Each structure stands twice: as C-alpha cells, then as structure tokens.
Amino acid sequence: MIQLCGFSLSNYYNKVKFFMLEKGIAFEEQLVMTHSHDEAVLACSPLGKVPFIRTAQGSLCESQIILDYLEAAHPSPALLPADPFEAAKQRELIAFIELHLELVARELYGQAFFGGTVSEGTKARVHKLLVGHIAGFKRLARFAPYVGGEQFTMADCAAWVSLPLIAMASKAVLGEDLLAAGGIDWKPYAKLIGERPAALKVAADRKADQDRIALLKAQGG
C-alpha cells in the first residue's frame, strides 16, 4: 500500500491526499514534519520537504510529480483530460497557482498564521507581485464551475487547498483579499469543491490537527 508522508496542515500534503481520495487509491498516512533531518526521511525527500510517498517501487517527493505518477499508474477515474493539450492546460493552471500565487503569498504566512512579523519591504513587494500575478491567473482560470472548465481535474486539488490561504494571508497582512480585489470570486468555488466527500475528509482531518495543536499550546506543550 502507498504510504503518504507529511502532515495535514500542509496545503501540498492535502493536495496529494485530496487527489488520492478522489481517485480511490488505497493509502496510509505517516506523520512527518517538514524539514526533518531524519536520514529515513532524507532518503525519500532530500530536502526534508513534505509530502512524499513510499511505494513498492521506491519513494517520490514533490507534490506535482506525485500526482502525475499516480494519474499514470491509476488512470481511472481520470483526473486529467485525455487530450494532451487540454491536460497540459490543467497543469499550466497548477503551475501558475503554485509558483506565481501561493509561493509569493507564502512570504506572508509567518505573520498571517504563525504570529510572526513581515517587513514593510516584503509586504510592498508581495503586494505588487500578487496584484500582477492574480491578473494573469484571471486570464487562465475559468471557474465554469471548476477552475479549468466543466470537469473536475487535478487542478482543482491544487486550487482548493491554496486559493483560500492566498486570500486569507493577503487579507490578514496586507489588509485586503487580493484575490477578491482582482476579480477572483473564489468563495463560491471553494464551497463547491469543499462539498465533495474527499474534500470534507481532508478538511475534517486538518481541523482535528489544528484543534490538537491549539490544545497543546494552551497546555504549554
């Protein structure tokens, strides 16, 4: 059985978990925190990043590599279009969301979610980048009703776990939900995807871990 390694507060872990649940792939979860220095982890993920998977053939890291492997190894139900160009358009959306939106907004997460502080220079730079990149994303995304068109695809696994974080982080640190300000009506989309059984499972597990961590902090653990 495939082993999915990471933790449920990671959006990239949840991207893979959501995808596997949608595909009906049997797997078990192993708690691994990011940036582990454990040699057993580094043998699977050389930078200690999560998620990664262990399979009978070996390990794989990087969430999109994992999804592409799983799509090829478990072709039904298909979460990419059969047409090569249309499949590439879905991957294009994923790359745009993760590289040009989420990776940029990630610089705000320390202040938005973890009690840290972001410098004014970083705020200004991130604001400028996100405004431009969101305008670009709006040209690619379709929300008809799914992010890439009429069919649910792996692009929705990426969008659903990352778009709310981008919106919340920009609202908390920059004072404005830059997705909404840029014309991305993400909340109805997030609600639509969030009603899927696989998404409900991912969200419930994430909430349980958030509650557990909050309790530990309250107890001084």
Residue 214, both tokens: 């909050």
User: What band does 221 get if pLDDT is binned at 50, 70 and 90?
Assistant: low
Mean pLDDT across the chain:
96
Tell me the pTM: 0.96
Q: Minimal CA–CA distance to 25: which of 157, 128, 129? A: 157
pLDDT for the residue numbered 18: 98
Distance CA 186, CA 9 (A): 20
Q: In the CATH hierarchy, which fold is given to the domain comprising 84-217?
A: Glutathione S-transferase Yfyf (Class Pi); Chain A, domain 2 (1.20.1050)
Instruction: Please enumerate in sequence order all residues whose Cβ is within 8 A of that of 13, keeping only pairs 6 or more positions apart, or say none.
Output: 4, 6, 7, 50, 51, 63
* 61 C-beta neighbours (distance < 10 Å), count: 19
Q: In the CATH hierarchy, which fold is given to the domain comprising 2-73?
A: Glutaredoxin (3.40.30)
Residue 163, both tokens: 């778009």
Q: Domains of the chain: which residue ranges? A: 2-73, 84-217
Tell me the per-residue pLDDT of 64-82, one tens digit each, with 9 for 90 and over: 999 999 999 999 999 999 9
Q: Minimal CA–CA distance to 166: which of 155, 181, 152? A: 181
Distance CA 213, CA 208 (A): 9
pLDDT for the residue numbered 34: 92
